Amino acid sequence: MSENTQISPATAGGFAGDPVAALAVSGSGSCCGSPAQAVGSILPPAGQLPTAGPCCGSQQAAEAAGSCCGTEAKTEAVTTGQGCCG
Amino acid sequence: MTAGSESVAHLDALLPLVSAERMAATVTALASAEFTGRRVGTAGGAAARAWLVAHLADLGAAVDTDDFPVRNVPELYAAPAVVWGEGETSTRLTFGREVAVHSTSADTSEVRRGPLGVAGSNDPTGRWLVVPAGGNPLDAARDASGAAGLLVSRAVDADGWQYTVLAGPDPGPLPILTLDAGTHRAVLAAATSAGWWSANTPLRRRDVTGANIHARFPAAEPGGIEVLLTAHYDGVGDHPGLRQPGASDNASGVAVVLEAARILAAARPAGVGVAVALLDAEEVGALGSAHHSQQLQSGDVRPLVINIDGAGLLDQAAAVEAGGPAPALLALLDQAGRHTGLPLAAGPVASDNRRYAAAGLAAVGIGAGMAGYHSPADTPDRVDPHTLKAIARLVVATVHLAASAPATLSSPIGDKR
């Protein structure tokens, strides 16, 4: 267990705020991101509502769906060598 | 005793049955050399699938698999041989740390040697062109006709690895290698003098067959709630000479789902049906869940989906990302978090949950950390047993509370503390 992990019945569990914020996670409407980015002690705040449509898959699939992978996100993905999901 | 308090008592009797040791053993098994990192379409992936099918059958589930095609899966079929130098000096680079093959690289099995140059400044013909830091390799490639290849800078992780990514655009016409920042600086300087570069990029694409694993436990009675527990079992796979065990990503998630299914199958909480989908091809773009969610979309069953991606190293809170009509599911998760003492926070979980949500299902993704993401450092010893236990307890509690939600749900959505 990491030094900062606090899991015990004495710890206040559940969401610290409104659980509905999990429906508006920043970046969930884009292609990019990885679970690794969700592991730090500082989680990104909830942000804009996710867009509709598939949010994973190949660049071609995203383009075919007309959603998901915006130009900026696509460029970032290519530059860093990072793909859409996983 | 009321029905609600009876149900909570039943849940409290179940939670101590969650075994961190059993889950750790599952992680170790799935991360073993026998399964070669579990990349989709590989023999190791098939062996892991067979192991999981047998495991689920032992739990009493009806198990089957469902194939689907997966195109253009990147596969490094040899470690790249990379040497560079100035004049008479030469340096061989370490694959995975100092140098890696870019995911959009062309496949060149033969070593190419040529002078170094700077992209955008030198005649590209026959040269390995160094793209200055921050430059876009696709832009550089457009102006690099006739070049031997491109060299781009890439950050390394905390362990010094250039982590592997399988999902992404199709390959371009040029060999492309990624260099850690220090190597990139040195090579960029050498590109203005008498530097030379010698390398191959043995990265091919294969069309393969992926296969999801479906396990069905007794369905809910009419009017009951169906819950689908999901986790992807594929990984980015081993490279030649470089094991990538995929312990946190996502043997840990699979272990949690198996343990939760074990507990729930035995307890059979009234009013809830439990099914499990262990998904393939997540690492190439969540294609297993895309395939499965389409099937669910065309059927009558609309389960609540709980996807686990990464249960390796919890820090302060487990990340939760939700999609689709999920407020009620989030309320259950909140209640379960409170009951088990696990803090939750809205955060990105870019995984299979997005496919189910996009198909209109209530879906949550839960991520509780990974060490050594997509690298050789993703080993079983870095998966924290307490994290496995905390997430499995959360899942068991969520599903159990779903059966008795009207009686016990004391923290409806919108409840502020």
Q: What is the CATH number of the domain that holds B171?
A: 3.50.30.30
Whether A49 has a pLDDT exceeding 90, the answer reads no
B92 and B160 part of one domain: yes
- Which segments in chain B show pLDDT lower than 70? 1-4, 405-417
- Choose among B230, B307, B338: nearest CA to B11: B338
Q: Find all residues with CB under 8 Å of B7, minimum gap 6, and list them.
A: B269, B400, B401, B403, B404, B407, B408
Domain that holds residue B159: 80-201
B77 DSSP assignment? -
ipTM of the complex: 0.85
CATH number at residue B56: 3.40.630.10
Q: Write out chain B residues lying below 8 Å of A39, CB-based.
A: 310, 312-313, 315, 319, 367-370
Cβ-count burial A42-75 (b if 16+ within 10 Å, e if not): ebbebeeebeeebbbbbbebbeeeebbbeeebbe
Tell me which residue in A5, A22, A56 faces B364 most closely, judged by beta carbons.
A22
B255 and B326 part of one domain: yes
B136 and B269 part of one domain: no
B54 and B7 part of one domain: yes
Return the pLDDT at A11: 52
Residue with tokens 């942000």: A47
Contact A56 B348 (CB under 8 A): no
Q: Write out chain B residues lying below 8 Å of A52, CB-based.
A: 358
Q: How many domains does chain B have?
A: 2
In a domain, B345, yes or no: yes
B64 and B101 part of one domain: no
Q: What is the pLDDT of residues B381-392, one digit of tens each?
A: 999 999 999 999
B188 and B229 part of one domain: no
In a domain, A5, yes or no: no
B231 and B258 part of one domain: yes
B8 and B118 part of one domain: no
Q: Find all residues with CB under 8 Å of B185, minimum gap 6, and list them.
A: none
Query: What tokens appear for B10 in the block?
Result: 């039943």
Q: Write out chain B residues lying below 8 Å of A83, CB-based.
A: 103, 165-168, 284-285
Q: Write out chain A residues lying below 8 Å of B179, CB-based.
A: none
Return the pLDDT at B300: 80
Q: Per the omega criterion (within 30 degrees of 0), is the bond before B250 cis?
A: yes
B262 and B224 part of one domain: yes
In a domain, B336, yes or no: yes
Query: What tokens appear for A32 in the block?
Result: 């990019």
Return the pLDDT at B150: 95
Domain that holds residue A64: 56-80
In a domain, B25, yes or no: yes
- How far does B7 lie from chain A, in Å, by closest CA? 18
Do the beta carbons of residue B283 and residue B166 sit within 8 Å?
Answer: yes
In a domain, B370, yes or no: yes
Return the pLDDT at B2: 65
In a domain, B105, yes or no: yes
In a domain, B414, yes or no: no
Contact B370 A56 (CB under 8 A): no
In a domain, A74, yes or no: yes
B398 and B282 part of one domain: yes
Contact B338 A14 (CB under 8 A): yes
In a domain, A71, yes or no: yes
Q: How many domains does chain A have?
A: 1
Q: What is the pLDDT of residues A16-31, one digit of tens each?
A: 989 999 998 865 444 4
Q: What is the pLDDT of residues A67-77, one digit of tens each?
A: 334 444 444 44
B297 and B348 part of one domain: yes
Length of chain B: 417
Which residue on chain B is closest to A10 by alpha carbon?
B341
Contact B285 A61 (CB under 8 A): yes
In a domain, B416, yes or no: no
Q: Of B167, B201, B235, which closes a domain?
A: B201
In a domain, A70, yes or no: yes
Q: Of B201, B232, B256, which closes a domain?
A: B201
In a domain, A68, yes or no: yes
Q: If you average pLDDT over every residue of chain A, what do you get?
A: 47
In a domain, B263, yes or no: yes
Q: Count the Cβ atoms, other than its own, within 10 Å of residue B274.
A: 27
B241 φ/ψ sector (left φ>0, alpha ψ -120 to 50, else beta) = left
For residue B397, the surrounding DSSP H or E stretch is: helix B385-403
B65 and B187 part of one domain: no
Tell me which residue in B337, B340, B354 faces A55 most closely, judged by beta carbons.
B354
Work out the average pLDDT over A58-79.
42
Q: Write out chain A residues lying below 8 Å of B411, CB-based.
A: 14
Q: Of B176, B201, B226, which closes a domain?
A: B201
